[in-house]
Amino acid sequence: MKEEIAKVMTMVQEGKIDVEKATELLHVMKGEDTRNQSEKSSDYFRKMLKVQVVSTERDNIYVNVPINLVKAVLKAGVGIASKVPQAEMYVKDIDIDLLLQAIDNEIDGKIVDVAYGNGDKVSVVIE
């Protein structure tokens, strides 16, 4: 199943299919009835994207953003950032469609978990 998902995501990256078609394919592969998707989505979009940076120097960062806001901001924010010269280099390699697809497929749990040698930690979780 993982190979099939990877193939679908590659097709999106290559522009062979759009995010909506990829989402539909993934649901079919999982054997899900897409008619019940609205019920599932309403629960998922109550979740939060939580970003946590814990620093040994105590300059910690905690950000909680509703998933439905993340989706809207991703669409608008990258377009804006790509037009700002100082920010362009930070967003040029981000595959927004892939991130949106992850949200559309209701990915949750720990997404990023990094521990640095100096003791600093960064985590991104959807819950």
What's the token pair of residue 66?
């509703």
pLDDT at 4: 76
pLDDT at 32: 59
Length of the chain (residues): 127
pLDDT at 41: 61
pLDDT at 59: 87
Instruction: Give the mean pLDDT per block of 10 residues along the chain (127 residues).
Output: 74 78 76 55 80 89 86 73 70 70 82 88 87
Task: Name the pTM for this structure.
Answer: 0.53
Q: Counting Cβ atoms within 10 Å, is residue 67 exposed (0-12), middle (13-18) or buried (19+)?
A: buried
Cα(12)–Cα(86) distance, integer angstroms: 28
Cα(12)–Cα(5) distance, integer angstroms: 11
pLDDT at 16: 82
pLDDT at 118: 92
